[in-house]
Amino acid sequence: MPTFSRNLMNTKMLAMLVLGFSSGLPLALTGSTLQAWFTKSGVNLMAIGMLSLLGLPYILKFLWAPLMDQFHFPGGRHRGWILFTQFGLFLMLFILANMNPNQHATLIGLLAITIAFLSASQDVAIDAYRTDMLEPQERGIGVAYYTFAYRMAMLVSGGLAWVLADTFGWRMTYQTMAVLLLFAMVMTYRAPAAPVVTLPRQSLWCTISQAFYYLLSQEKIALLLLFVALYKFGDALSAALLSNFLLHELGFSLTEIGLAYKIISIVATIMGAFVGGVILTRMSLYTALLWFGLAQAFAILTLVALAMLGKNFIFMFITLFVDSFCSGMGTTAFLAFLMSLCDKRYTATHFAFLSAIASLGRVFLGPAAALLVEQVGWVQFYLWSFFLSFPGLLVLMLLKTRVNDYATAVE
């Protein structure tokens, strides 16, 4: 019990809260909130549509991740990069706050892509720092704290920011968000230093080639990468068109969806992450991945039932809570597994590459999901999502020994 209490609250966990908030804050500021600013300013629809391209740095971030293993800023190996990107985000957001979309749309677009690039780079550095910092028994709780703060930051920048903009204007809103990142930077500076890992003096190309050599030469790496790609596949497929399903197919109002989908889902995801983190302190990583994966899969059946039942607010509430809760548990175990695969000499490169593979389904499943719905309807679509949750679990069973070996190893 004392060990559990120490894992539940210490300086490492406080750092996870700060970094989770810092990671989640910029996302909506170049996404939904920026779209709202453009819309309220009367910018044309084509320009607003182009804002979706701001998500590209989050997909491609593994391409420059080796830089963060090779080169260091003052403040610690990866913590120095976090401080650098946080200051850059503060500066760019403060400049952006003083722009007018009607007069500076192109310049705002350039600033926004810079912010997205810095935000994606911050994520790489934070993922690496988290992997360096947390011991195997701390990973589940650490991910839970990170997830909680990340979701809270998304509410601040994606919900509270709209209220602030309506009351005080967009300039004050973006300046406030910039100041929050400056505060996060100060707290990051006070965060504990990660264990020192020194790479030999070598070229960037050597760092890149060695990082991928050590990752791809691991035993059963093909199965491991297949598992990384498939574990959240069914979960991602079922979520690909969820807003459209609730709004157009079932006919719920924006207010009903806002209350249940946006708020209840976030609360349930946070709760699931914490429950998963606590269970991970008492259960092997393989067992957690298996049971949480099964929970993710069977939670999709509530969407099947909702599609059959039709518009029912209470059942929609229950469905979204169960689905998000189980997804939160699965994500906690999955991120702990990704951390276990990383060699601490190359944590930035390894985690960025593995997370890019894991995100392929989430990023590219939209068109396939739409086609499937058109062909078979919503009930069959969610049944397919349920069945496609199991290939990843079958691969997991083939990797039982390797998963437990990685989970208990201290690199």
Choosing from 152, 170, 198, the residue where a domain stops is 198
Among 329, 324, 323, smallest CA distance to 303 is for 323
Query: In this predicted model, what pLDDT tens digit does every residue of 358-389 receive, in sequence order?
Result: 887 666 676 777 788 888 889 999 999 999 99
DSSP alpha helices (H): ranges in 158-284?
Answer: 161-168, 170-189, 204-216, 221-230, 233-239, 242-244, 254-257, 265-280
Q: Is the same domain home to 349 and 239?
A: yes
pLDDT of residue 411: 41
Query: Tell me, what's the pLDDT at 125?
Result: 94
- Same-domain status, 280 and 165: no
pLDDT grade for 52, boundaries at 50, 70 and 90: low
Query: Mean pLDDT across the chain, nearest whole number?
Result: 85
If asked whether residues 210 and 343 sit together in one domain, one would say: yes
328 with 383, same domain: the answer is yes
The per-residue pLDDT for 5 is 52
> How many domains does one find in the chain?
2
**Residues 72, 188 within the same domain:** yes
Give the angle subtended at the CA of 24 by the CAs of 20 and 30, to the nearest 5°: 160
- pLDDT for res 392: 94
241 lies in which domain range? 205-408
Tokens of 404: 């437990």
- Residue 50's pLDDT is 67
Residue 283 is predicted with a pLDDT of 87
3-state SS, 7-76, equals HHCCHHHHHHHHHHHHHHHHHHHCCHHHHHHHHHCCCCHHHHHHHHHHHHHHHHHHHCHHHHHHCCCCCC
Q: Are 93 and 122 part of one and the same domain?
A: yes
Q: Is the dihedral of CA 38, 149, 349, 125 positive or negative?
A: positive
Each residue of 152-173: pLDDT tens digit?
A: 898 888 778 888 888 888 899 9
pLDDT digits (tens, 9 = 90+) for 317-359: 899 899 999 999 999 999 999 988 888 888 889 999 998 888 8
pLDDT digits (tens, 9 = 90+) for 266-315: 889 889 999 998 898 888 889 999 999 999 999 999 999 999 998 888 89
Same domain as 68, residue 178: yes
Measured over the CA atoms of residue 159, residue 161, residue 165 and residue 170, the dihedral's sign is negative
- Quick one: 364 and 253 in the same domain? yes
d(CA 288, CA 265): 22
Q: Which of 198, 223, 246 is the last residue of a domain?
A: 198
Q: Which CATH number does the domain housing residue 20 bear? A: 1.20.1250.20
The CA-to-CA distance between both ends of the chain, in Å, stands at: 26
Give the C-alpha separation, 114 to 109, whole Å.
Answer: 9
Share of the chain above pLDDT 90, in %: 39
User: Within this chain, do residues 22 and 149 fall inside the same structural domain, yes or no?
Assistant: yes
My answer on whether 139 and 189 are in the same domain is: yes
Is 180 found in the same domain as 253?
Answer: no
Q: What is the pLDDT of residue 168?
A: 87
Domain boundary among 198, 223, 240: 198
Angle made by CA atoms 26, 29, 34, in degrees to the nearest 5: 160
